[in-house]
Structure 1
Amino acid sequence: MGVAIRTAGEGDRELIVRLLDEAFQDDPVSGWVFPGVEDRRAKHPRLMAAFTDIVLAAGRIDVTEDGSACALWLSVPADEGHDAEDEGPAQVREAVDPDNERVERVGRLMAAIHPTGRAHEYLWMIGVAPGRQDEGLGTALIEAVLDRCDREGLPAYLEASNARSRNLYERLGFEPAGPALDLPDGPSMWPMWREPRSHRPA
């Protein structure tokens, strides 16, 4: 049985924020940004809200019909390069936790390794409710966009934040796109790239 997927709108904002918060509370990168458990419980939802707002405004959020999983996508044009003066990470830090330099640093480090020169679909985040993992929901969300990428000849890019997700992405055709991004005194993130396929196996 297929997974029903729809495009999220402004009315889904609280659902998406809650879903991402639950999915990433124990993620290694979230733990690096907010090392203290109580601090993370309090401020992590603000970071997920900032990301949700950015993608609702500039990209697309796909969500399963039952609200158990979501994927945040941005369409990146061919000529978009890394801008060292980009104020986005600083603005996110100001909105989320002004005293926490890591909120801004992780954004700048990720921007610095983001591929340029070719238009692509960027999977910013994918979140599955903790009690609904291993049901194929994340795969269904990603494959829906990869099918379109293949039809349109578009590559796709993402950063895996843990070994579990990296294995999933490899099964979907993503390959390493350069060395791992090692956060200072923290975990690694793995940039991954997927070339479009001329035909997908059935």
Structure 2
Amino acid sequence: MGVAIRTAGEADRESVVRLLDEAFQDDPVSGWVFPGAEDRREHHPGLMAAFTDIVLAAGRIDVTEDGSACALWLSIPAGDHDGGTEDGDSGDGDSDDDGPAQVRAAVDPDNERIELIGRLTAAVHPSGRAHEYLWMIGVAPGRQGEGLGTALIESVLDRCDREGLSAYLEASSARSRKLYERLGFEVTGPVLDLPDGPAMWPMWREPRTRTGS
């Protein structure tokens, strides 16, 4: 049975934020940005809200019909350079150089890692070619392993293949990197080692040529 997917709107904002907060509480990069458990519980939802608002305004959020998984996408035009992520599969998505600082100011001005993660990922984000950027993808903890994330990604990759578009993301764990490799992504450039923290893998996917009628 296929997974029903729709585009989220403003009415879905709170449920998307809640889903992302739950999905990324134990993510290695979220743990690096908010090393203290109490601090993470307090400020992590605000960071997810900031990301959700940016993508609702400038990109697209796909969500499964039952609300158990979502994917945040940005369409990056040729010659543009858009980056900055909070966790491997995330970013601040603000082409303005002040974007990471603005997110930090809105979420937790005392936490410099909120700004640093945006600047570090922006620095490794490929520029020049148009592509779809998977900012982040989250699946409810109780629904992981059911193929929901794969279905969300493949729905966009199918369009990329039809339109000859590349895709890009940053994997925030070795486990997610393996999933993306199965979907045709390859590590591009050097691995991003966060200061005193985990690694992130910039990954690029060329469109696949369709054969037959």
The TM-score range, normalised by the shorter chain, is over 0.9
Q: Does 1:158 align with 2:176?
A: no
Aligned-partner residue type, residue 53 of structure 1: D
CA distance in structure 2 between the partners assigned to 1:16 and 1:56 by the alignment = 10
Using the TM superposition, give the Cα deviation of residue 81 of structure 1 relative to its aligned residue in structure 2, in angstroms.
3.1
CA distance in structure 1 between the partners assigned to 2:147 and 2:113 by the alignment = 32
8 Å CA contact 2:132–2:165 kept in 1: the answer is yes
CA distance in structure 2 between the partners assigned to 1:32 and 1:200 by the alignment = 44
Q: Deviations over 1:134-184 (max 9, x none)?
A: 100000000000000000000000000001111110000000111110000
CA distance in structure 1 between the partners assigned to 2:191 and 2:73 by the alignment = 21
Q: Residue in 1 aligned with 2:91?
A: none
Aligned-partner residue type, residue 44 of structure 1: H
What TM-score results when the alignment is normalised by the length of structure 1? Answer: 0.97
Aligned-partner residue type, residue 31 of structure 1: G
Q: Does 1:143 align with 2:154?
A: yes
Give me the CA root mean square deviation.
1.5
Q: Residue in 2 aligned with 1:23?
A: 23
In structure 1, the residue corresponding to 2:203 is in which secondary structure? strand
Q: Residue in 2 aligned with 1:185?
A: 196
In structure 1, the residue corresponding to 2:3 is in which secondary structure? coil
CA distance in structure 1 between the partners assigned to 2:29 and 2:211 by the alignment = 32
In structure 2, the residue corresponding to 1:196 is in which secondary structure? coil
Q: Does 1:199 align with 2:198?
A: no
CA distance in structure 1 between the partners assigned to 2:60 and 2:98 by the alignment = 22
Q: Alpha carbons of 1:200 and 1:42: their partners in 2 closer, same or farther (altered >3 Å)?
A: farther
Q: Alpha carbons of 1:176 and 1:42: their partners in 2 closer, same or farther (altered >3 Å)?
A: same
Q: Deviations over 1:92-143 (max 9, x none)?
A: 0000000000000000000000000000000000000000001000000000
Identity rate, percent: 82
CA distance in structure 2 between the partners assigned to 1:152 and 1:85 by the alignment = 28
From 110, 128, 151, the counterpart of 1:99: 110
Aligned-partner residue type, residue 60 of structure 1: R
CA distance in structure 2 between the partners assigned to 1:161 and 1:35 by the alignment = 16
CA distance in structure 1 between the partners assigned to 2:145 and 2:121 by the alignment = 27
Q: Residue in 1 aligned with 2:126?
A: 115
8 Å CA contact 1:82–1:112 kept in 2: the answer is no
Aligned-partner residue type, residue 65 of structure 2: E
CA distance in structure 2 between the partners assigned to 1:41 and 1:99 by the alignment = 16
Residue ranges of structure 2 left out of the alignment (5+ in a row): 84-94
Q: Deviations over 1:38-70 (max 9, x none)?
A: 000010000000000000000000000000000
Aligned-partner residue type, residue 72 of structure 2: L
Equivalenced residue count is 201
CA distance in structure 2 between the partners assigned to 1:72 and 1:200 by the alignment = 29
